[in-house]
């Protein structure tokens, strides 16, 4: 089983962006929340609902299926991983994403693909997002 | 600017609708935030002219740590206060600091007056002036909805705007920031109104590469853990600042009924605990803060027969529970939320608004003013009448409301001053929700923005209370001045003051070093004094003189935790204060 990010408790979200900042910091060496592989957004301003745009590790990852170079490689058990060296920046994966999660970084010329590393989960103060942990014999979450 | 040796300043001239950027190396010594905003303000202010004259500047600034370290979330606004006629400075959280950073800017200076109402979208690569005529007198929430929908800049944006009070140039009007936060005090909303400026939409996607990832990630995690896994900030998340209501009430430090009392018999009905149990809906953070201190309560109102209800989320905190609660004799959480909601919608400073209403109520009781002036026969505890009066303050129907909306100092000065010894202002600004003792009074009177947060006099009082018998005027003055100095550096960085204990100066210096700013605690203290001196000079040039703000006799007639405060003792503190502040 591959690690899988989920957002089971977004009603607890306080919109602190700590998850996005952590991803930007650790995965993209960036201070900016615009360069990270997940997005917490509002629907109707701060008084509306808060939603998490995250990679849902589709069983049938269309982002991988449409990739002409194999840069977006389907993983066993669902989802895909990005092999940066193979990516030519065609953005077909972005167009194919079923939930419009995947964003393209014009400067990096790469899709901002989640690696399901779990750093965002570590910095979420309220457990709004979780990641399944394969080492856990019960398939539990951290 | 991060990793650069300059502050990137965006200048916007509303007269010509032209902009320019300047990279100011000379501003780096002022760090950012209030240091930079007050310096930029001092360069452009027209001392002799009216605070609402078109040429007066309004300045926004963030600091080097904004958003990129936990709880560094505030933006600072400097302006010529139309309420006090002296230096105006206000701080707000929300998403504004993050948005200014992403818009590739450190500071924004706005001068001039648009020919007709506008709001402005600020992006890293574009500035757009939108026609705001149709939005001009709309309430705050409705304005926000339109600006969100029409600005066409989805993402990590911040939307700040004024309501009817600002549009009507009411000197106690605020600027709303992202619905739940505000540049609340001292009348920044009227300054926007005077410029025909409805608001700003700020957004961007500027990326900043981390230069020293190992060191930076290490200190970030350390600070994050200190903020979230220790008890240092727990109270701000749990009950929020209304946690103060009951402890203050217990020691006779909660102003009630226009400070006729310092102990409120219905405190338990509007305590932090009562709010949490009865109406708390959610907690929200400013961007980059893992605490979530913004407490939002659910307001459910019957508006017609047939079970017709409306509902709304309203943010509350201790200051508002005081000003629109105990100050007005409101006995339940829903009543307080109702008044906060109305004040929010019209865009008034909720602290000043509540204190003004309390004054009006007592003045009516005494017969010092009449219902022919107030148009509403205000009574302590009567919510509907207060709702009506709030609308009148924001959109004045007569000269009385035009005058009272300028704040109690101006109102009573016009009426002869001395007769109104129950007008609760300190240094020209309405009091906040504490009556802890002499340090709070003198701290408010002398503070650079007359905020309880300038020097935390309320905290000094409470800490000294255990040794009340040996209270020394000199000690109080020393503590007020020392705190005011050190806070200048925090408001320049700009760290939320709630995180003061998380960020000792040694931690600050370690954090700064990871973003290539090398400072020692001693150097920060020196810079802090320089920043404060600049602000003191500004207000001195504006004619500020402590002797013009005598303390109302009400402060000496109501028991504080120290019993009755003696005027002679406060005079003694002021004497020491003048001597100490002169050395800064």
User: Helix, strand or coil for residue B173?
Assistant: strand
Whether A45 is in a domain gets the answer: yes
Distance CA B349, CA A117 (A): 45
Whether B397 is in a domain gets the answer: yes
Structure tokens at A52: 């998490």
Mutation target to probe the B interface, by most B beta carbons within 10 A, among A10, A11, A16 is A16
Does B180 touch chain A if contact means CB atoms closer than 8 Å? yes
Distance CA B566, CA B554 (A): 11
Per residue in B337-374, pLDDT (tens digit) is 999 999 999 999 999 999 999 999 999 999 999 999 99
Look up residue B202 and give its DSSP letter. Answer: E
Whether B426 is in a domain gets the answer: no
Whether B385 is in a domain gets the answer: yes
Burial level of B303, CB count in 10 A (0-12/13-18/19+)?
exposed
Sign of the Cα torsion B96, B101, B107, B110 reads negative
Distance CA B407, CA A57 (A): 58
Residue-level pLDDT at B417? 62
Look up residue B77 and give its DSSP letter. Answer: E
Q: Which residues make Cβ contacts (< 8 Å) with residue B423, sequence separation at least 6?
A: B359, B408, B409, B411, B412, B552
Please identify which residue in the block is written with the tokens 């409301």. Answer: B401
Per residue in A33-88, pLDDT (tens digit) is 999 999 998 877 777 889 999 999 999 999 999 999 999 999 998 999 999 999 99
How many other CB atoms are there within 10 angstroms of residue A70's CB atom? 11
Which of B111, B103, B75 lies closest to B1 in space, CA to CA? B103
Task: Say whether both A84 and A122 belong to one domain.
Answer: no
Task: Say whether both B376 and B276 belong to one domain.
Answer: yes
Compute the nearest-CA separation of B283 from chain A (Å): 6
Residue B327: pLDDT band with limits 50, 70, 90: very high
Do residues B90 and B449 lie in contact, with contact meaning Cβ atoms separated by under 8 Å?
yes
| pLDDT at A137 > cutoff 70 | no
Task: Say whether both A68 and A49 belong to one domain.
Answer: no
Structure tokens at B410: 């101006």
Whether B430 is in a domain gets the answer: no
Q: Which of residues 250-289 of B touch A (CB under 8 A)?
A: 282-289
Domain containing B265 equals 238-420
Does B102 touch chain A if contact means CB atoms closer than 8 Å? yes
Which of B116, B118, B159 lies closest to B140 in space, CA to CA? B159
Over range B400-411, report the average pLDDT: 97
Whether B218 is in a domain gets the answer: no
Task: Say whether both B169 and B38 belong to one domain.
Answer: yes
Over range B252-281, report the average pLDDT: 98
Task: Say whether both B38 and B180 belong to one domain.
Answer: yes
| pLDDT at B248 > cutoff 80 | yes
Do residues A127 and A118 lie in contact, with contact meaning Cβ atoms separated by under 8 Å?
no
Task: Say whether both B261 and B187 belong to one domain.
Answer: no
Sheet holding B280-284, edge to edge: B280-284, B294-304, B308-316
| H runs (alpha helix) in chain A | 18-28, 62-65, 92-96, 119-122
Whether A25 is in a domain gets the answer: yes
Distance CA B177, CA B90 (A): 12
Do residues B131 and B34 lie in contact, with contact meaning Cβ atoms separated by under 8 Å?
no
Task: Say whether both B288 and B412 belong to one domain.
Answer: yes
Task: Say whether both B46 and B95 belong to one domain.
Answer: yes
| Domain-ending residue, one of B202, B224, B256 | B202
Residue-level pLDDT at B416? 76
How many other CB atoms are there within 10 angstroms of residue B300's CB atom? 11
DSSP for B279-343, written as a single string: TEEEEE--TT-SS--EEEEEEEEEEETTTEEEEEEEEE-HHHHHHTTGGGT--SHHHHHHHHHHH
pLDDT cut 90: percent of chain A above it: 82
Chain A, nearest residue to B68 by Cα: A31
How many other CB atoms are there within 10 angstroms of residue B23's CB atom? 13
Does A106 touch chain B if contact means CB atoms closer than 8 Å? no
Cis amide linkage into residue B542, ω under 30° from 0: no
Q: Which of residues 197-236 of B touch A (CB under 8 A)?
A: 204-210, 213, 216-217, 220, 224, 228
Q: Which helix (H) or strand (E) holds A68?
A: none
Distance CA B431, CA B427 (A): 9
Chain A, nearest residue to B67 by Cα: A31
Domain containing A15 equals 1-54+114-130
Task: Say whether both B98 and B24 belong to one domain.
Answer: yes
Residue-level pLDDT at B457? 98
What's the CATH code of the domain at B367? 1.10.569.10
Task: Say whether both A11 and A28 belong to one domain.
Answer: yes
| Domain-ending residue, one of B185, B202, B219 | B202
How many other CB atoms are there within 10 angstroms of residue B311's CB atom? 9
Distance CA B323, CA B344 (A): 13
What's the CATH code of the domain at A76? 3.30.70.20
Task: Say whether both B326 and B352 belong to one domain.
Answer: yes
Please, what is the average pLDDT of chain A?
91
CA distances from B159 to B67, B108, B121, B292, B339 (A): 17, 15, 9, 19, 23
- Partners of A117 on chain B (C-beta within 8 Å) are none
Task: Go through A32-52 and write b for each residue having 16 or more CB atoms within 10 A of its CB, e for each that does not.
Answer: bbbbbbbbbebeeebbeebeb
Whether B351 is in a domain gets the answer: yes
Compute the nearest-CA separation of B395 from chain A (Å): 26
Structure tokens at B425: 């202002």
| H runs (alpha helix) in B195-304 | 213-229, 234-238, 245-250, 272-278
Whether B442 is in a domain gets the answer: yes
Does B494 touch chain A if contact means CB atoms closer than 8 Å? no
Please count the structural domains in chain B.
3
User: Helix, strand or coil for residue B382?
Assistant: coil
* Angle of helix B567-581 versus helix B438-446 axis, rounded to 10: 40
Whether A19 is in a domain gets the answer: yes
| pLDDT at B167 > cutoff 60 | yes
Over range B327-331, report the average pLDDT: 98
Q: Which residues make Cβ contacts (< 8 Å) with residue B274, sequence separation at least 6?
A: B268, B333
Task: Say whether both B300 and B333 belong to one domain.
Answer: yes
| pLDDT at A3 > cutoff 90 | no
Q: How many CB pairs under 8 A join A and B?
A: 95
Compute the nearest-CA separation of B285 from chain A (Å): 5
Which of B130, B122, B76 lies closest to B99 in space, CA to CA? B122
Q: Which helix (H) or strand (E) holds B90?
A: strand B87-92
Whether B428 is in a domain gets the answer: no
- Partners of B70 on chain A (C-beta within 8 Å) are 18
Distance CA B322, CA B166 (A): 23
Task: Say whether both A63 and A86 belong to one domain.
Answer: yes
Task: Report the DSSP beta bridge partners of residue B77.
Answer: B60, B90
Structure tokens at B295: 């407490």
User: Helix, strand or coil for residue B579?
Assistant: helix
Whether A135 is in a domain gets the answer: no
Do residues A80 and A73 lie in contact, with contact meaning Cβ atoms separated by under 8 Å?
yes
Task: Say whether both A28 and A11 belong to one domain.
Answer: yes
Task: Say whether both B273 and B179 belong to one domain.
Answer: no
Task: Say whether both A46 and A7 belong to one domain.
Answer: yes
Distance CA A23, CA A19 (A): 6
Residue-level pLDDT at B149? 84
Sign of the Cα torsion B422, B425, B430, B431 reads negative
Per residue in B130-165, pLDDT (tens digit) is 999 999 999 999 999 999 887 665 568 999 999 999
Whether A40 is in a domain gets the answer: yes
Residue-level pLDDT at A140? 44
Which of A23, A16, A36, A121 lies closest to B217 in space, CA to CA? A23
Distance CA B456, CA A28 (A): 40
Over range B229-237, report the average pLDDT: 90
Task: Say whether both B380 and B448 belong to one domain.
Answer: no
Does B144 touch chain A if contact means CB atoms closer than 8 Å? yes
Whether A108 is in a domain gets the answer: no
Distance CA A53, CA A102 (A): 9
Structure tokens at A95: 């167009």
Please count the structural domains in chain A.
2
The ipTM of this complex is 0.89
């Amino acid at each position: 089983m591959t690690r899988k990010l989920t957002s089971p408790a977004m009603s607890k979200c306080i919109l602190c962006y700590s998850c996005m900042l952590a991803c930007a910091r650790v995965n993209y060496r960036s201070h900016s929340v615009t360069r990270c592989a997940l997005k917490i957004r509002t629907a109707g301003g701060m008084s509306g609902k808060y939603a998490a745009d995250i990679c849902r590790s589709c069983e049938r990852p269309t982002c991988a299926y449409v990739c002409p170079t194999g840069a977006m490689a389907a993983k066993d058990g669902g989802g895909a991983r990005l092999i940066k060296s193979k990516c030519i920046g065609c953005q077909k994966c972005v167009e194919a994403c079923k939930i419009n999660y995947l964003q393209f970084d014009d400067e990096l010329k790469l899709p901002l693909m989640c690696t399901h590393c779990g750093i965002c989960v570590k910095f979420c103060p309220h457990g709004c997002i979780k990641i399944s942990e394969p080492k856990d014999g019960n398939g539990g979450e951290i | 600017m991060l990793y650069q040796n300059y502050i990137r300043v965006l200048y916007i001239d509303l007269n010509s609708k032209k902009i320019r950027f300047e990279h100011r190396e000379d501003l780096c010594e002022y760090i950012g935030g209030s240091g930079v905003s007050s310096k930029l303000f001092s360069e452009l202010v027209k001392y002799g002219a009216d605070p609402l004259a078109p040429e007066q500047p309004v300045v926004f600034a963030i600091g080097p740590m904004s958003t990129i370290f936990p709880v560094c979330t505030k933006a600072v606004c400097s302006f010529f206060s139309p309420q006090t006629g002296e230096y105006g400075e206000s701080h707000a959280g929300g998403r504004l600091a993050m948005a200014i950073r992403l818009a590739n800017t450190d500071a924004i200076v706005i001068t001039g007056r648009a020919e007709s109402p506008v709001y402005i979208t600020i992006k890293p690569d574009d500035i757009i002036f939108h026609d705001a005529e149709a939005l001009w007198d709309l309430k705050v929430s409705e304005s926000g909805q339109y600006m969100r929908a029409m600005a066409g800049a989805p993402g990590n944006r911040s939307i700040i705007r004024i309501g009817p009070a600002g549009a009507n140039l009411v000197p106690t009007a605020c600027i709303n920031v992202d619905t739940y936060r505000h540049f609340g005090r001292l009348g920044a909303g009227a300054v926007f109104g005077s410029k025909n400026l409805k608001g700003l939409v700020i957004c961007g996607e500027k990326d900043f590469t981390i230069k020293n990832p190992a060191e930076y990630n290490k200190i970030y995690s350390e600070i994050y853990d200190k903020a979230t896994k220790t008890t240092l900030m727990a109270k701000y998340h749990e009950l929020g600042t209304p946690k103060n209501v009951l402890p203050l009430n217990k020691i006779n430090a909660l102003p009630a009924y226009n400070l006729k009392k310092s102990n409120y018999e219905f405190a338990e009905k509007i305590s932090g605990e009562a709010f949490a149990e009865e109406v708390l809906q959610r907690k929200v953070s400013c961007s980059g803060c893992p605490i979530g201190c913004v407490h939002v309560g659910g307001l459910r109102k019957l508006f017609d027969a047939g079970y017709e209800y409306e509902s709304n989320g309203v943010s509350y905190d201790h200051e508002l529970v005081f000003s629109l609660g105990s100050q007005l004799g409101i006995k339940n959480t829903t009543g307080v939320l109702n008044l906060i909601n109305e004040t929010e919608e019209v865009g008034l400073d909720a602290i000043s608004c509540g204190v003004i209403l309390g004054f009006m109520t007592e003045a009516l009781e005494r017969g010092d003013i009449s219902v022919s002036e107030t148009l509403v026969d205000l009574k302590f505890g009567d919510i509907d009448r207060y709702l009506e009066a709030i609308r009148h303050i924001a959109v004045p129907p007569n000269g009385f409301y035009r005058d009272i909306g300028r704040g109690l100092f101006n109102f009573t000065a016009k009426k002869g001053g001395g007769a109104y010894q129950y007008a609760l202002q300190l240094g020209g600004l309405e009091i906040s929700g504490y009556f802890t003792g002499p340090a709070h009074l003198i701290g408010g009177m002398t503070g650079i923005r007359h905020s309880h947060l300038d020097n935390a006099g309320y905290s000094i009082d409470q800490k000294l209370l255990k040794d009340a018998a040996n209270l020394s005027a000199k000690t109080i003055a020393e503590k007020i001045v020392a705190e005011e100095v050190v806070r200048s550096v925090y408001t320049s960085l700009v760290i939320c003051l709630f995180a003061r204990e998380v960020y000792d100066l040694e931690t600050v210096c370690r954090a700064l070093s990871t973003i290539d700013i090398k400072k020692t605690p001693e150097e920060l203290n020196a810079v802090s004094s320089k920043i404060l001196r600049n602000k003191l000079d500004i207000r001195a040039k504006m004619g500020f003189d402590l002797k013009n703000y005598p303390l109302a006799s009400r402060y000496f007639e109501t028991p504080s935790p120290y019993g009755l405060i003696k005027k002679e003792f406060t005079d003694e503190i002021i004497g020491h204060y003048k001597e100490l502040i002169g050395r800064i």
